[in-house]
Structure 1
Amino acid sequence: MAPPSGRRISAASLLAWSGLVPFAAYVSLFLVLPTILALASGLFDGEGALTGDNLAALADPTIVAVFVNTVWLSATTAVVGAVLGALVCWALLAAPPASAVRRLVEAGASVLAQFGGVMLAFAFIATFGLSGVVTSLLQEGFGVDLYADGPWIYELGGLLGPYIYFQTPLMVITFLPALSALKPQWAEANLTLGGTRAGFWAHVGIPVLAPAFLASLLLLFANAFSSYATAAALASQGAQIVPLQIRAALTSETVLGRENLAGALALGMIVIVGLAMWAYSAVQRRAARWQR
């Protein structure tokens, strides 16, 4: 009787693992294969010979400035989005989990976190563009010219608003479960022992939530660093950030006299995002200890 039972267990295990085949195919096609192609194109020239010229281009001052711009944009929007999102999550603690307000905010955050690309760029241009609704209202009603110093909305600073727009609801989605997992018994025990509400947050709440907050911050940084569609639709001219520089390298006939520069840029981008996600995973594992 043992062999048939063993065969049945093996068949069941094989059937269970077969459910991962579609996901494995998706990861291989859209994550692993592009990474391999980026690595290969960055290390080889147009004739297939191994070269370091493409990687050497990463030390060019223009390319370094583009990476600095991207890191600055990603870090700034991640910090602002994390703080605003955390405040929204903290305000939602007053609402019961099944309340209409909380469900509405959670549903809205899920939608707005995915609202990007051409739609978001058009919304900001229609609102804050050179002839936008808010721009015209301030100019005609209050004499305030938003573009006295130039068309900033189409420059690097103009990406701050759209990025914060989708970073904040993403923070709400990722940080709210951790904040909701704070046990009420901890606050009650703190008050019973003579502690204050401020003392609870200073000595219990913030230290416990710090890993989850940092993990969400890293996720927001990686999300902003790898974003392309919104920046491409809003800043159609120039290549202020790495994704737009990759677009320029793919569409331009000559970039710094080096072929396959886009692969080297993508490789550098993969390394930075990979390090951010590795740190996110490490911090997330630490944050999950007290949530069990």
Structure 2
Amino acid sequence: MATVTDDPGLLAPVPRVRAPRRGLRLHDLRSLLGTLPFFAYVTIFLIIPTLVVAIGAFAGDGGFTWSNVSSLGEEYVRDAFGRSILLSAITAIIGAVLGAVLAYALATAKPGGLLRRVVTAASGVLAQFGGVTLAFAFIATIGLSGFVTVFLRDELGVDIYSGGVWLFELPGLMLVYTYFQIPLMVIVFLPALDGIRPQWREATESLGGSTWQYWTRVAGPLLAPAFLGSTLLLFANAFSAYATAAALVSQGNPIVPLQIRSALTSEVVLGQQNLGKAMALGMVVVVAVVMTLYALLQKRTARWLG
């Protein structure tokens, strides 16, 4: 009786067939052409400005110089960076906590309900509601002559400015920045909450676990990277904001973006343009570090969210 191994043809090596090399097809060219507007936008509004800032930070009258970057060690520059970091950290933490609570309320609501759709749409609008419009809204509401300020002072005898004009200083910036940080947190953190599956809670309860154990051992560790990443995004958003602070603060330069404005436009101290670019380069470095950490946390979140 012949066996399989008796046939020498079955033991012969199978020749390898090399796949034909594909050239660049028309479909691939069309795909590349579709990305050209995006790359053009990134080049014009991101890459070129970053290069201008980086080159200008090391440029002087005689060519290359370290004097602009070394000037970042001046006390007023360090204080501006410290206040910017403090402002960004406080508003990011407050916005993250309050926004996460609101996002959780939306996650537990009816998925296609009116409440969720209205709050989500409002968050998308309010997260981008900044600049001069937001500054004017706060001035008209709780400014020195705002209608809430006048009502509290005339009707209730409460003067919210008895301790100073705080709205136009760092505390006022914290309040205004928190206004748009909360809806931004709702937008970026809600998908992570939607990724939590009800079966995980049911499994915890079926194994005798309590609600506290579910949040500390299951949902909490899973949501921690997304929460921290969203907080870092809020930090970068506040750290780079300019228009709202420029419209609200007319005296002094408490944060770095206003210091840069002063260096570029001041008529009192001339020749500070490259120092302004050095401060801008410092901001780019800080934001780059924060966004790198954010990308790493988002990658970790995507492991279970996907």
TM-score bracket, shorter-length normalisation: over 0.9
Equivalent residue, structure 2, for 1:16: 31
2:149 pairs with 104, 129, 135, which one?
A: 135
Matches within 5 A, 1:83-232: 83-232=97-246
Q: Distance in 1 between matches of 2:288 and 2:255?
A: 18
CA-to-aligned-CA distance 1:9-53 (integer Å, 9 cap, x gap): 5221121122111000000000001100001111001x3611111
Offset at residue 6 of structure 1 (A): 3.9
Residue among 67, 75, 92 paired with 1:53: 67
Q: In angstroms, what is the RMSD of aligned CA positions? A: 1.7
Higher Cα radius of gyration: 2
Gaps of 5+ in 1: none
TM-score (norm 1): 0.95
Offset at residue 5 of structure 1 (A): 9.7
Structure 1 segments, 4+ long, off by >2 Å, are 4-7, 253-259
Among 245, 255, 260, the alignment partner of 1:241 is 255
Task: Give the residue type in structure 2 aligned to 1:179.
Answer: L
Q: Distance in 1 between matches of 2:62 and 2:263?
A: 18
What residue identity is the alignment partner of 2:180?
F
Whether the 8 Å contact between 1:57 and 1:256 is mirrored in structure 2 is no
Structure 2 letter corresponding to 1:198: W
Distance 1:261 1:255 in 2: 11
The answer on whether the counterparts of 1:113 and 1:169 sit within 8 Å (CA) in structure 2 is yes
**Secondary structure of 1:149's partner?**
coil
Partner in structure 1 of residue 276 of structure 2: 262
Contact 1:53/1:258, CA 8 A, preserved across alignment: no
Aligned residues: percent identity? 53
In the alignment of these two chains, the number of paired residues is 288
Q: Distance in 2 between matches of 1:140 and 1:24?
A: 57
Single out whichever of 25-34 and 14-23 deviates more from structure 2: 14-23
Partner Cα separation in structure 1 for residue 47 and residue 109 of structure 2: 42
Query: Secondary structure in 2 aligned to 1:265?
Result: helix
- The 1-side partners of 2:271 and 2:262 are apart by 13
- Aligned-residue offset at 1:236: 2.1
On the 8 A contact 2:72/2:279 being kept in 1, the answer is yes
Query: Partners in 2 of 1:30 and 1:256 — Cα distance?
Result: 27
Does 1 or 2 have the higher relative contact order (CA < 8 Å, sep 6+)?
A: 1
1:255 to partner: Cα distance: 4.5
